[in-house]
Amino acid sequence: MSSSQFRYTQTPSKVVHLRNLPWECVEEELIDLCKRFGKIVNTKTNVGANRNQAFVEFAELNQAISMVSYYASSSEPAQIRGKTVYIQYSNRHEIVNNQSPGDVPGNVLLVTFEGVESHDVSIDVIHLVFSAFGFVHKIATFEKAAGFQALVQFTDVETASAARSALDGRSIPKYLLPDHVASCNLRMSYSAHTDLNIKFQSHRSRDYTNPYLPVNHTAMDGSMQPALGADGKKVETQSNVLLALIENMQYAVTVDVLHTVFSAYGTVQKIAIFEKNGSTQALIQYSDIATAAIAKEALEGHCIYDGGYCKLRLSYSRHTDLNVKAFSDKSRDYTLPDLSLLVGQNVPGVAEASAPTAGWQNGQVQAQYAGYGGSPYMYPSADHAGASPSSGHPPYYG
């Protein structure tokens, strides 16, 4: 066996530590693996951040030694559901099943939303998900070191326990999440709270028992959170600013490239490019919502470059007026009245922004795409098969 599977230098203990267990491994599976080595007096399952570890306590020390020694010398590793399990002595000498505050049942759940940021999951979505198990009294959301979290208050312990049993470890349905979110897993424990103190209604907190509670109108701004339709599906709130997530980015995407692509549908006022969660994103501001909606409809899912490169995933931003640096590598403000004056003075980086370009200003790139009029990027067309028009035009992607 490999030395990584066992710790030979550890002091033997009646408690055996098992790692790399299958998801939600149950006590019966542990006992079935360990019982032939001796009497088992206690177990502790679903330990660790990934809940894939466990402890098994034998009645006698020599029984634990027998198990560890057997698998240390066996050519067949310990397995549960076909998955190799790693075994070692535990640092503890007995299992103490003291309940932490999160294990003591209560009517308030502490929910951690994994894989998302606070603006990705609205309070309306949280209410919809948890209301399936009973009347939700109050919700309070916040951000901590563990990530985006919420306290969800039910009428009683039984309802909260039912919700936890059904939802812990599961994901929010994809149709309730923004398009750029792959998944949102729920992790739950019981809170020590019994009655949340909600001071006003907002997009971060809600009291469903008190219709007379003051409303924070700024926080209730519809642009902050997506609304839900009658069928429970997300209804995206439109905005004059588009958020572009750029996938499969094999070539550089500059401010000028984005300006050329998006100005085909109307006057682009501002652009800002930034990095977030390891991906390149951009904000593109139009003068009105109608223009942004047309651009979003036309460009969603399209690729800036031929071959499926730099695919655009578009959604509406909660912003309405971007505050950007006027002229930089990552941002541009096309609304400044003295733009032509700056161009006349040959201010670096401004000349290219004065009007939509026909292609990159890089000579090598122009030569590479000479057959497409010097433009390496594509413009959506009515050809939904993804075919390119005849020569003399940039490559299209439908």
Query: What's the pLDDT tens digit per position in 75-88?
Result: 889 999 889 999 99
Dig out the tokens for 210 from the structure: 């008190």
* Mean pLDDT for the stretch of residues 328-354: 60
Give me the CATH code for the 15-89 domain, please: 3.30.70.330
Please report the pLDDT score of residue 172 as a whole number.
92
Side chain identity, residue 38:
G
Minimum mean pLDDT range among 29-38, 181-190, 201-210, 225-234: 225-234
8 phi and psi angles, rounded to 5 deg: -80, -25
pLDDT bucket at 24, cuts 50 / 70 / 90:
confident
pLDDT bucket at 278, cuts 50 / 70 / 90:
confident
Residues of the chain with CATH 3.30.70.330: 15-89, 108-217, 241-333
For domain 108-217, say whether CATH 3.40.30.120 is its number.
Answer: no
CATH topology of domain 241-333: Alpha-Beta Plaits (3.30.70)
CA angle 204, 208, 214 (to 5 degrees): 65
**% of the chain exceeding 90 in pLDDT:** 39
pLDDT bucket at 125, cuts 50 / 70 / 90:
very high
pLDDT bucket at 255, cuts 50 / 70 / 90:
very high
Please report the pLDDT score of residue 231 as a whole number.
54
Dig out the tokens for 54 from the structure: 């466990």
Count of other CB atoms within 10 angstroms of residue 397: 25
Does this model's pTM top 0.75? My answer is no
Please report the pLDDT score of residue 101 as a whole number.
56
Please report the pLDDT score of residue 52 as a whole number.
85
Please report the pLDDT score of residue 227 as a whole number.
53
Count of other CB atoms within 10 angstroms of residue 376: 21
Is the pLDDT at 291 greater than 90, yes or no? yes
Q: What is the mean pLDDT of the chain?
A: 78
Q: How far is CA 353 from the centre of its chain?
A: 34
Please report the pLDDT score of residue 98 as a whole number.
55
Q: Pick the more confident residue, 314 or 356.
A: 314
pLDDT bucket at 233, cuts 50 / 70 / 90:
low
